[in-house]
Amino acid sequence: DFPHAGELRMEPIYECLDCHGGDDHYAQYNFEGIDEEFHKSVHSSKHSEEFTCWMCHSPHTYRINARTNENMQEFILYDNEICLSCHSNTSKYQLLTTLDNPNILDKHDWLPNQGLHFKNVRCIECHAEINNDLLVAHNIQPKEKAVKRCVDCHSKNSMLLTSLYKMQFTDQRSLTGFSNAAMLEEAYIIGANRNYYLNRLSVVLFGLVLLLITVHAVLRSTIKHS
């Protein structure tokens, strides 16, 4: 019945593994791996038993997104709102700590094109350790270990392929020659979406320019001394 009876507040709160652990029906989600990673994270190590699965995944409202939502913008927004429900909410944040809730925008003022990054990647892309056995990383790292190097995402071997684009990842080029073609369905990422044919063409053009300069220099030198 809802609303629940008041005395239920005294009942122990179940954790994910109480229902989902050791059940072959849920094996694809690897709840055991998620639980192990969560207990390594700063959420668990800094807050101990006060921080449970329910802090992020309300049993009444949470829904799976990464596996089911084909609209990447929607599931990025949904996942980020889970983080912001504490990290931009002073009242909720201070239920777990006496520290001041840092301003998210100020803490990320080093990030170029801040708005675009917030819109197109999840918080966990930079703040969680990637685990190849899990679709969604749960080992939230200390702030000192947050990803800050542009090349970690903006390169051919972009870490986004093993996190945000894990479901769509393919190591084959598209027919048009683009690397990491799965990304192109949502965005063009500088450095990560290189084009094989354009790369080859640029090398050829560069070689032709050098050849023309060399020929020009030789002709000028020959004419000058003739």
| Most confident residue range from 30-34, 179-183, 184-188 | 30-34
Q: Please determine, for residue 177, whether its predicted confidence score (pLDDT) is greater than 70.
A: no
Q: pTM, whole model, 2 decimals? A: 0.68
145 vs 79: CA distance, rounded Å: 21
Q: Which long-range contacts (CB under 8 A, 24 or more apart) does 51-55 make?
A: 51/96, 52/13, 52/15, 53/15, 53/16, 54/13, 55/86
Contact 135, 174 (CB under 8 A): no
Specify the 3-state DSSP secondary structure of 139.
strand
Give the Cα separation of 98 and 96 in Å (integer). 7
Under 8 Å between Cβ of 147 and 125: yes
pLDDT for res 170? 43
Instruction: Check: CB of residue 169 under 8 Å from CB of residue 182.
Output: yes
Task: State pLDDT tens for residues 90-128.
Answer: 888 888 888 888 899 999 999 999 999 999 999 999 999
